[in-house]
Structure 1
């Protein structure tokens, strides 16, 4: 039988600076605010059509949104449509940067929507003598979209309607 050692082992703890740089295994983003102006590039990618693994990737600018069910996309599209009243007060277009390219390397945030998310909206008047333009704030779960002009509103509404139509035309096995 081997002899047991009573020596204790010293384990070095990382310094506070090192600990601050570590990424935890689980983290939760409780809110995300996205400000949009001008034409928002949109891309729709549907994978595993008609199966239980079906998933639509909707990229709006730098935000990638995953949706699996047509009813989820329809709830969001209907919520955006309902905000049209507030979009009437937006400027037609706000000058901004050139249009962004879209693809995996440009994604800044990934979101997954499921079920029937609540979509709320509010019109925000311009501030500081017009230095901050009037905006339309649309909230979907933890995501708040601050839409600065009618062009951005229309381009994102069009994308949500396309997502709802695409998923509605391709129900999953369990829908």
Structure 2
């Protein structure tokens, strides 16, 4: 008797544990934490300037953020600027690895920000006798950046300000 190729039949024959491991189309990542130390490699790519399809791709280390409107980038840049008080308590630099190259093969997460996202920040002091370093925690929607030194904070703040400036100077037809 020939084997059935009916996909619904194949799914029925899988064990319950196999079915649990399958990722459905409706799966959503609800939070992402990124730890940053040292000079964070940054890249800005602006496409379709001044049109309704305008989009800025801002790569911060291994995170690629898509933004369409200047108001969105400005809200995030202002939130990072407001976190400067906490950043003053960070170490100047934490020795780390060589900076990552930037490109499609190095991106670990892609995020789209829109509207005016709320930015929260809090300084987290060192714990366990310094085994866990002090950090600045900055939350933007589902993304939390744990910034370990002032070098990382400064490089990412500079990138957000550049993004706000680029999108502010190039409003879309809708803005």
TM more than 0.5: yes
Per-residue deviation, 1:17: 4.1
**In 2, distance between residues paired with 1:98 and 1:19?**
41
**In 1, distance between residues paired with 2:56 and 2:17?**
40
- Name 1:97's counterpart in structure 2: 97
Equivalent pairs, count: 167
- Name 1:152's counterpart in structure 2: 152
Structure 1: runs of 5 or more not aligned = 1-8
More helix per residue: 1 or 2? Answer: 2
**In 2, distance between residues paired with 1:41 and 1:11?**
49
The normalised TM-score by structure 2 is: 0.92
- Name 1:40's counterpart in structure 2: 40
Q: Per the alignment, in what secondary structure is the counterpart of residue 9 of structure 2? A: coil
Structure 1 stretch displaced more, 60-69 or 20-29? 20-29
Per-residue CA deviations over 1:68-127 (Å, capped at 9, x if unaligned) read: 000000000000000000000000000111111111111000100000000010000001
Instruction: Please list every run of at least 4 consecutive aligned residues from structure 1 whose deviation after the TM superposition is greater than 2 angstroms.
Output: 9-12, 14-23
- Name 1:52's counterpart in structure 2: 52
**In 2, distance between residues paired with 1:20 and 1:153?**
40
**In 1, distance between residues paired with 2:18 and 2:104?**
29
Per-residue deviation, 1:131: 1.2
The normalised TM-score by structure 1 is: 0.92
- Name 2:83's counterpart in structure 1: 83
Per-residue deviation, 1:155: 0.2
* C-alpha RMSD of matched pairs (Å): 1.4
- Name 2:3's counterpart in structure 1: none
**In 1, distance between residues paired with 2:60 and 2:91?**
20
**In 1, distance between residues paired with 2:138 and 2:20?**
33
Q: What are the residue-to-residue correspondences of 1:68-79 with 2, within 5 Å?
A: 68-79=68-79
Q: What are the residue-to-residue correspondences of 1:99-138 with 2, within 5 Å?
A: 99-138=99-138
**In 1, distance between residues paired with 2:60 and 2:9?**
47
**In 2, distance between residues paired with 1:114 and 1:34?**
20
- Name 2:170's counterpart in structure 1: 170
Structure 2: runs of 5 or more not aligned = 1-5
